[in-house]
Structure formats: structure tokens, C-alpha cells
């Protein structure tokens, strides 16, 4: 007797209780193209605990997700806010930013990219930020967040190259969601700035993801599908 074929229409959202993550999860759950949707969040999956990441990935053994979205991230917390000047650089704040915005997603790549099916189209997308673009940096400031997201972008590029060797139709990208009304952006929302609702941002990001081809792999794109400079 043959085994049941593994379901291959599984979508995963990591950071599923965040502003954008929760909206992505909800939107995917109402989309008939994704009958199976699983969200991971703290404390089950904590980016600061590799064991929890490995256990979350192991819980999906044999499932072969075709879509993995990492919607985690860190800009501020009670112990630190983005720097306006180099005078405000604080090693503990910078280390936290790198741990959550760059090293954590790198560990997600380590444990979740091997789950992508070897045949057919699949997508790993991590939410980065336009301010992580070095080429686009005109305002300065936000040293830790900018540098950690720039590191994330480099990790995406590097993982995309490795992924393409074994998974020819897999796509690994960084996505800028735009300015979205969430706890992360709330202290910095200025009058006159276009701010999207999490539901609108999720819908736009999922449209961009649906249109991605392997040629986009290793790039940073915004919520309109425009490729941004590194």
C-alpha cells in the first residue's frame, strides 16, 4: 500500500501575532488556494532560542510548505528606541536589534529552508525594511535597525544563491511592507505619512508574493512589487 501523498499546499507565518503577521495569517486562512495555514509565535518559537526554531521546523516534518513568511522584527522596546545620532548608540540595544532582525531570520533560513519542496515553485519571504537599503539611505539615523535590516538583506541574497542550487524554482526574498499601523511603527507615525492598515499591507504583500518568479529570488521588493536597491 502506498503512503498518502504529503499535502503541499501549506503556508506558514512566523511572527503570527504581530501586527502584519496576524493580518497575513488571517488573509491566508480565508484564501482557498491555501487550505492549510500554520502560524508560529512566541513563546513556542522564539528567535532568541535556536532550539525552539528547530522544534517548530521539526513539527512540520514531511509537510513541505510552499510558502513561508517571516513577519518578525524589532525596532524599539522599553529598553531602547532608534538612534537619532551616533551619540545614542547602545551596544545592548544594537545587539538585540541584530539578534531579532538578522540572526533570528538566519536561523529561520537554517531550519525552515530545507522544508521547501525540491520540485515546483515555493517562496520564503522575510519582512525587511526600505531603511535597510544602503543605496536608499538619505536621512541617516536609526543605526541599529538600518544595519540589522541591511544584514538581513545580505543574508537573503546569500541564502537565495545556495537555495537555487538545490531548488531551482524556489524563491527567497526580502519584502518591505510600507508604513503599516502596528505597535512597531506607532511611536514614529507622522502626520502626512501614508500609513496602511495591516489588512491592506497583508493583501498587497500576498499579491506581490503571488507574482514572484525565480528571477526575483535574492532581491528586496516593496509592497507594490518594485525591486529596491540594496
Ligand X SMILES: NC(=O)c1ccc[n+]([C@@H]2O[C@H](COP(=O)([O-])OP(=O)(O)OC[C@H]3O[C@@H](n4cnc5c(N)ncnc54)[C@H](OP(=O)(O)O)[C@@H]3O)[C@@H](O)[C@H]2O)c1
Please report, as ranges, the residues that interact with ligand X according to CB under 6 A. Answer: 15, 17-21, 41-42, 45-48, 71-74, 100, 127, 129, 176-177, 179-180, 182-185
The CB-of-190 to ligand X minimum distance in angstroms stands at: 12
Q: Phi first, then psi: what are they for 62, rounded to 5°?
A: 85, 0
Nearest distance in Å: CB 125, ligand X:
11
Least Cβ distance, residue 52 to ligand X (angstroms): 8
Minimum distance from residue 209 beta carbon to ligand X (Å): 14
- At what angle are helices 91-98 and 143-166 packed, to 10 degrees? 20
- For ligand X, give the closer residue by CB, 25 or 113: 25
| H helices present in the chain, as ranges | 19-29, 50-58, 91-98, 104-112, 143-166, 198-211
Nearer to ligand X, 7 or 183 (CB): 183
Q: Rounded to whole angstroms, how far apart are CA atoms 155 and 159?
A: 6
Residue 135 Cβ, how far from ligand X at the closest point, in Å? 17
Q: State which residue, 25 or 115, has the beta carbon closest to ligand X.
A: 25
For residues 15 and 167, which CB has a smaller minimum distance to ligand X in the complex?
Answer: 15
CB 199 within 8 A of CB 112: no
- Count of alpha carbons within 13 angstroms of residue 134, beta-carbon side: 8
**Following DSSP, what letter does each residue of 202-214 receive, concatenated?**
HHHHHHHHHH--G
Distance of CA 7 to the CA centre of its chain: 23
Instruction: Give me the sheet containing 170-176, strands edge to edge.
Output: 36-40, 10-14, 67-70, 122-127, 170-176, 220-222, 227-228
User: Least separation, in Å, of the C-beta of 132 and ligand X?
Assistant: 9
CA distances from 185 to 31, 67, 81 (A): 27, 26, 11
| d(C-alpha 82, C-alpha 77), whole Å | 10
Cell numbers 521588493 correspond to 221
- Please state the closest distance from residue 41 (CB atom) to ligand X, in A: 6
Amino acid at each position: 500500500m502506498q503512503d498518502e501523498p504529503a499535502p503541499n499546499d501549506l503556508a506558514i507565518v512566523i511572527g503570527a501575532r504581530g501586527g502584519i503577521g496576524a493580518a497575513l495569517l488571517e488573509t491566508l486562512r480565508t484564501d482557498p488556494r491555501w487550505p492549510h495555514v500554520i502560524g508560529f509565535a512566541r513563546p513556542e518559537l522564539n528567535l532568541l532560542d535556536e532550539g525552539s526554531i528547530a522544534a517548530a521546523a521539526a513539527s512540520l516534518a514531511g509537510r513541505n510548505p510552499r510558502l513561508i513568511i517571516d513577519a518578525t522584527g524589532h525596532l524599539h522596546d522599553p529598553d531602547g528606541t532608534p538612534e537619532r545620532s551616533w551619540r545614542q548608540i547602545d551596544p545592548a540595544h544594537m545587539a538585540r536589534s541584530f539578534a531579532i532582525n538578522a540572526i533570528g531570520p538566519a536561523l529561520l533560513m537554517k531550519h525552515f529552508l530545507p522544508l521547501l519542496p525540491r520540485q515546483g515553485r515555493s517562496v520564503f519571504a522575510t519582512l525587511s525594511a526600505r531603511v535597510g537599503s544602503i543605496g536608499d539611505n538619505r536621512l541617516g539615523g536609526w543605526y541599529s535597525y538600518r544595519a540589522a535590516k541591511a544584514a538581513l538583506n545580505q543574508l537573503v541574497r546569500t541564502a537565495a544563491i545556495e537555495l537555487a542550487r538545490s531548488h531551482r524554482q524556489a524563491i527567497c526574498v526580502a519584502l518591505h511592507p510600507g508604513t503599516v499601523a502596528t505597535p512597531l511603527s506607532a511611536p514614529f507615525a507622522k502626520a502626512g505619512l501614508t500609513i496602511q492598515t495591516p489588512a491592506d499591507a497583508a493583501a498587497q504583500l500576498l499579491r506581490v508574493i503571488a507574482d514572484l518568479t525565480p528571477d526575483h529570488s535574492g532581491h528586496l521588493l516593496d509592497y507594490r512589487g518594485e525591486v529596491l536597491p540594496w
